[in-house]
Every structure is written in C-alpha cells, then in structure tokens.
Amino acid sequence: MDVTLSKRGDYVMRAAICLARGFGDGRPRKIREVVEATDVPRSFASQILSDLVKAGIANSRAGRDGGYRLTRAPGDITVLEVVEAAEGPLHLDRCALGEGPCRWQAICPLHETWSEAAVALRKLLASATLEEVADRDAAIEAGTYAVPATSHRANPTAVELVDTVQVELGAPRLHVALARESRRLGTVATAAPGGQASLTPVAADLAGDAKAGDGHYLLAWREAAGPVPSRVEGQLWVEAVDDERSELHAAVTWRAEPGAVALARPGGTEPAQYARRELRAFLRELARSLERPVP
C-alpha cells in the first residue's frame, strides 16, 4: 500500500522546505531560485507556490525585489499544513472495506481501527514543524545526518530517461485526448509491459492543464510487481509536428523500489535497459490509446 505524497504534494513540500531554509535572511525567493534548489519543473513552479499562498503559508510580492516568502516562522508552520495545502484535508472519504456484505450497510468491522490510524497520522503531522524538516534537509545536504536503517532510499537504483513517441493527432486534439486518457492512465500503464498486469492503476497519475496551453503534464506510476518493483516520475509534453501529427515527449526518473535487486549486475547496465524498455512500452501503449477513435 502506497502512503507517499502525490507528485504535487512532493513538489509543494520541496518548495516549502526551500522557503523555510531561506526564511532567516528575510529575502523573498524568486521562482527560478526555488526551481534551482528543489528540481521542481519550471512549468509547474508557479502553481506549486500558489498552493502555499492560497493556504496562507507563503505570500508573494511582485517587482524586482519581490518573490515568495513564508508568512510565519518555519517553527510555527506544521507539516500537516503543508501537506494539506497540496493534498487537501486528510480524512477518510470512503469505507476501508468497500461496500461489503449487506450487514455492513451502516459500518464495517474495520472502521474504528482505520479511523484511529487516520487520526494518528494527522496528529503526528500536526506535531511536526516545517522547521524540523528544513533542519533535517540541511543536515542531509551537509552529510551530517545519520541515515536510519529503515531508510527507503538505502542502496537506490535510479535512471534518468528521455523518450519520444509520435502520435497521429494534431496538438489541440492531442491535448483533448490526454485529458480523456488521464482518467484511465492506470489501465494504459498496466497494458504497457506486454499484457502483464504489473503496474498499479491507482498509483498512476497524469496531471496537467490543457487549457493553459503550456503542453506539460506531470506523470507518475508505480510498478508493484514484475521482476523489478519500481517507480517512475517526471513530465510529459507535447510538440506539434504539423496539423495532423504531434510528438509526445517524456523526461522521467526511474527508481527501483527498496529490495529490487533482480536486475542488479556489475556496471548497472541492466536496470537502465529495463527502465528504457518500460518507458518505451508505456509511451507506445499511450500513443495507441490516444489515437483510438472515441466511441
């Protein structure tokens, strides 16, 4: 079960940490500074920072000396506030066990335990401050932070990938098709590795604003099964070729999950080959799905 932040939540937390680490000098941070410090995609940085502004965590000021700055000291801002700025209120939207037998119409047997777990998570996040997280980030950067044995990034395998696929649709039609396919991206991801149901549909996400015309979309999926459990995160963007064709580009980071050592070999070439095949298969399947006529 995946309990990590969404890609948007990840970016909002990174931006908040950046502003927290710069809070002491009193100088607002420009968007380009946040991008350079956090690796948040430039095309999404303004949206990410706007989430912090809307939540009252940061404010913005235009002009030569303007930028973004926290509205309060990092020690007065909780991690819960930052998380909810991106993810929305943390609460249970539906029953943990679904509809279940008819005798579960009012409540399921897991309800109280699951509710207590959700309350405990909110309580923990509310007790932690942005200052604590920012200080930890500084210590990690300086190499003075003791990495716990439970670290999910112990012995990571990561591969940076760029790939392109051509789609037989003009750019405007392709944006419309992407908006349509975003609702079933998990199905596309599952079909990508040659029919093996190894990608987790609920963990696949495509977020973007076609109306904005920037042509960029966030992309993330998680392969929970298969020879190498892994996670892919990055961007898709559209470039027009002519009125009838477009190119769909992807720039992603492929990361093996902890314990995924099936492809580990001296030199590290096999994980990279596997990652490239996985991305290529996904893009081809996505292109076929986008070109499919709407019933």
Q: Which domains does the chain show, CATH number per domain?
A: 7-94+106-142 (1.10.10.10), 158-291 (3.30.530.20)
pLDDT digits (tens, 9 = 90+) for 140-165: 888 888 877 666 655 456 788 899 99
CA 158, CA 230: separation in Å to the nearest integer?
9
Of all residues in the chain, the percent with pLDDT exceeding 90 is 36
CA 295, CA 92: separation in Å to the nearest integer?
35
- In our burial notation (b when 16+ CB lie closer than 10 A, e otherwise), range 124-139 reads ebeeebbbebbbebee
Where residue 124 falls (left for φ over 0; alpha for ψ -120 to 50; beta otherwise) is: alpha
Which stretches within the chain are classed as H helix?
Answer: 7-21, 31-38, 42-54, 79-87, 111-127, 130-142, 171-181, 185-191, 269-291
- Please tell me the predicted confidence (pLDDT) of residue 262: 45
**Mean pLDDT value of segment 87-97:** 81
- Which helix (H) or strand (E) is 167 found in, with range? strand 158-167
**Mean pLDDT value of segment 3-16:** 90
Strand-pairing partners, residue 232, are 221, 254
- 104: confidence class by pLDDT, cuts 50, 70, 90: confident
**Confidence check: pLDDT of 134 > 50:** yes
What six digits make up the tokens of 41?
Answer: 């995609």
DSSP assigned state of 147: -
- 213: confidence class by pLDDT, cuts 50, 70, 90: very low
Q: Global pTM?
A: 0.60
- Please tell me the predicted confidence (pLDDT) of residue 227: 64
pLDDT digits (tens, 9 = 90+) for 167-207: 999 988 888 888 777 766 655 655 555 333 233 332 344 55
- Please tell me the predicted confidence (pLDDT) of residue 184: 65
